[in-house]
Amino acid sequence: MTNVAVIGLGIMGLPMAKNLVKAGHQVTGYNRSQEKVDKLVAEGGKGAASVAEAVKDADVVITMVPDSPDVEAVVTGDDGVFANAREGALWIDFSTIRPDVAVQLAESARKAGLKPLDAPVSGGEAGAIDGVLSIMVGGEAADFDSASEVFDAVGKTIVHVGPAGSGQTVKAANQLIVAANIQALSEAVVFLEAYGVDTAAALKVLGGGLAGSKVLDQKGQKMLDRSFEPGFRLKLHHKDLNIVTSAAREAGVTIPLGAVVAQLVGSMVNQGDGDLDHSGLFKLVEQLSGRDND
């Protein structure tokens, strides 16, 4: 049994914390809204009134917050993770942030006596609930090995991809692929509907061939139903695509498709649709095709 502190009990963090409780770990959670903490307590976890309180006795500290500034806010400062976690504790950041920030924070964590791993996840809310997330991990190999029980409680495909920052780099590539897939699937559905095809049947057969993907399996029906309750919000994918395009420029890599999709996602956010599921990109394809009132 491991004492685990979870900072950030949102759409992803709360189900991950619950799965850690189910796996037999002692889990203490902190979140800015008390409601989420209460939900963890109802599942057998404990609540804390501050980051400092949550991490003081933890063997493993987990952060799962939206963006780079949010991670920096909870780990730095007198009340943060670095100043209050015990020496030798593992710090696993499951957030999706900029790779360069992940490297900088890993260096600061090591100076504070912690063992840092950047471990962004893929699989959305459903994957978090079912405990089958894909986890791409950057950091020291020995630290990765020592975190296996925690990773096994929340994920299925867990791979050490390199030194600090590598997990975030792989996650950026993941978000590029997912966004392009969602855009292509949106265009395909609008195209099929324009010809009066049985779209449910069409997606079934497409899913069995080379066009099949987890994006088609998980997002196709949402598009057919025009049901875009968030599993992963467009505004977060917008943030992730900004990470991708910025990192690509720094590396001198050209990603024309990624740049276009980033602009399309950004336009959805600017129109006020940032809280929709990222499959809501379908709405923009309908709009551009003049079919949004059909």
φ/ψ bin of 24: left (φ > 0), alpha (ψ from -120 to 50), beta (otherwise)? left
CA distance 175 to 240: 7
- Residue 217 CA: distances (Å) to CA of 17, 194, 220, 238: 26, 21, 6, 22
Is 39 one of the annotated active-site residues of the chain? no
Phi, psi of 91 (to 5 degrees): -115, 115
CA distance 55 to 78: 13
Contact by Cβ (8 Å): 131, 153: yes
Contact by Cβ (8 Å): 115, 143: yes
In the set 171, 235, 239, 283, the catalytic residue is 171
Tell me the HSE value of 165 on the side-chain side, using a 13 A CA sphere.
12
Report the catalytic residues.
171
